[in-house]
Chain A
Amino acid sequence: QSALTQPASVSGSPGQSVTISCTGTSSDVGGYDSVSWYQQHPGKAPKLIIYDVNNRPSGLSNRFSGSKSGNTASLTISGLQADDEANYYCSSYGSSSTVYVFGTGTKVTVL
């Protein structure tokens, strides 16, 4: 099963909003509401920021939101801050032999 497709990079100015897409197939993203998003700063472990498409872990900023339409999931970061500069990965449950599949990753740059 191939990795989910994400744009390599997105950028925005402080205070703006950016959206990252995550495209899969009907066998993963489109077939299940089990899409998660992770933030990873350089040299650090990934951090769960969205699960089950649009749920935030307790205590996480509401500037992060998720959605899904068909085979594409999206992560929106509103009110962009300097600390949001990181790599972001989506993941999904998949019905093939690869139970979970990650996205290719997107580098978010705050201008």
Chain B
Amino acid sequence: EVQLVESGGGVVRPGGSLRLSCAASGFTFHDYAMTWVRQAPGQGLEWVSSINWNGGSTAYADSVKGRFTISRDNAKNSLYLQMSSLGAEDTALYYCARELDAGHGDFDYWGQGTLVTVSP
């Protein structure tokens, strides 16, 4: 069974940093591109960042470019999102998702999310 379990969320002050993790199991992790998607409270989905199978190619939404870094450790079946210079606009539930076919944006498995709250 495919499972994605996010962790690392919490309350952080504006300007602070946080590192999210996503533990994958039930599939061959290094065969898939992975993505972070976030959802602010009561709002819609927003694509944040994606990484290809070996970490050699990454992409970021304009809203996080230069502040967030996506990475992966295929030996540990884990995906990460290092977030810095956090602001109130980054408050959201952060989901990691597996991309069925790289470059198609078809996210077929999602975790349950980890909540990031940026508050003074």
Chains A and B belong together in one complex: yes
Is B44's CB under 8 angstroms from A104's CB? yes
Is A97's CB under 8 angstroms from B50's CB? no
Residues of chain B contacted by A48 (CB below 8 angstroms): 100, 106-108
Is A46's CB under 8 angstroms from B45's CB? yes
Is B47's CB under 8 angstroms from A102's CB? yes
- Interface: B56 (CB within 8 A): no
Residue of A with least CB distance to B44: A105
Residues of chain A contacted by B59 (CB below 8 angstroms): 99
- Interface: B53 (CB within 8 A): no
Residues of chain B contacted by A1 (CB below 8 angstroms): 62
Residues of chain A contacted by B106 (CB below 8 angstroms): 34, 36, 48, 51-52
Residue of B with least CB distance to A93: B105
Residues of chain A contacted by B107 (CB below 8 angstroms): 36, 38, 46, 48
Interface of B is mostly: loop
How many angstroms from the CA of A93 to the CA of B110 in the assembled complex? 18
Number of interface residues of A (CB under 8 A): 26
Is A100's CB under 8 angstroms from B50's CB? yes
Q: Which of A45-64 contact B (CB under 8 A)?
A: 45-48, 51-52, 57
Is A98's CB under 8 angstroms from B62's CB? yes
Residues of chain A contacted by B44 (CB below 8 angstroms): 3, 89, 102-105
How many angstroms from the CA of A71 to the CA of B113 in the assembled complex? 31
| A12-31 to B contact mask, C-beta < 8 Å, 1/0 | 00000000000000000000
Residues of chain A contacted by B37 (CB below 8 angstroms): 46, 102
12 additional A-B pairs beyond A36-B106, A105-B44, beta carbons within 8 Å, are: A34-B103, A34-B104, A36-B105, A46-B37, A52-B106, A89-B45, A93-B103, A99-B47, A99-B59, A99-B105, A100-B47, A100-B105
Binding site for A on B (CB under 8 A): 35, 37, 44-47, 50, 59, 61-62, 65, 95, 100-101, 103-108, 110-113
